[in-house]
Structure 1
Amino acid sequence: MDFVITFSENEKAFVAKVSGDIDAYHSATFKQKIIEHMDNIDKKIIAVDLSEVSYIDSAGLGAIVSLIKESKKHEKEVVLLSLQNQIRRIFEMTKLDKIIRTEDTIEEV
């Protein structure tokens, strides 16, 4: 599967929908594309839809942690949406689920 990020907005959040793996090959692009939008949006919530991500490695986790740090500088919150079970387990094992908010759907944001 190709790595693609599409962007949209709704009344609650700026949404980045990710398709493909967030790994060493794609993590820098993932982080860069979302950070590029942080200055230009007025929404306080950046929802990252991971429903089409089936694999994430340590580089991908690092990119997400970097996004959290960067979002705080911009006074925004990153919320991860629709994590597949294997991705959710990785967040639980690494305890990242304690520092980043996850929701099942955009309506829960």
Structure 2
Amino acid sequence: MFTLQAESHKNVIVLRYLGDMQLPDVPQFSRQLDEHLLTPGIKQVVLDLSHVGKVDTSGLGVLVSASTKSRGHGRRLVLLMPAPHVADLLKKVEIEGFFPTFDTEEELKGYIPDTAD
């Protein structure tokens, strides 16, 4: 079970993921993430992963798929503060460099100033 809290900024949506990111969550998470990635006027979706509980490779698969799909629409998926076990899994499956990733909100604001408003 999870919740996805959205914060809208100019050209950017920040999504805060709370809960597990495992196979039972994948269909609903994929649909919700796609909706945000395809929102008119949005150039980037920032996904805060600091409060992710359990995660498996199916959850990571949603991220890879969404990132690829968003690039096809001229948009970008950015990861923010992955929880340590999420960062470890990204490294283990060798996809940590696939996403722009920021360890702090301050780093993110320096890279995407629209998230500061």
Query: TM > 0.5 between the two?
Result: yes
Q: Deviations over 1:14-58 (max 9, x none)?
A: 111110011001012111101112232423111001111022101
> Do the aligned partners of 1:7 and 1:16 also contact (CA within 8 Å) in 2?
yes
Query: Is the counterpart of residue 5 in structure 1 residue 4 in structure 2?
Result: yes
> Do the aligned partners of 2:80 and 2:101 also contact (CA within 8 Å) in 1?
yes
> 1:11: how far off?
4.2
> Do the aligned partners of 1:6 and 1:16 also contact (CA within 8 Å) in 2?
yes
> 1:98: how far off?
1.6
Larger strand share, 1 or 2 = 2
The alignment's TM-score, normalised by the length of structure 1, stands at 0.88
Count of residues paired in the alignment = 108
For 1:75, what is the secondary structure of its paired residue? Answer: coil
RMSD, aligned CA = 1.5
Q: Which stretches in structure 2 are left out of the alignment for 5+ residues?
A: 109-117
For 2:50, what is the secondary structure of its paired residue? Answer: strand
The sequence identity of aligned pairs, in percent, is 26
Q: Which stretches in structure 1 are left out of the alignment for 5+ residues?
A: none
Residue 59 of structure 1 is matched in structure 2 by 58
Residue 18 of structure 1 is matched in structure 2 by 17
> Do the aligned partners of 2:38 and 2:70 also contact (CA within 8 Å) in 1?
no
Larger helix share, 1 or 2 = 2
TM superposition outliers: structure 1 runs of 4+ over 3 Å: none
50-59 vs 99-108, which deviates more?
Answer: 99-108
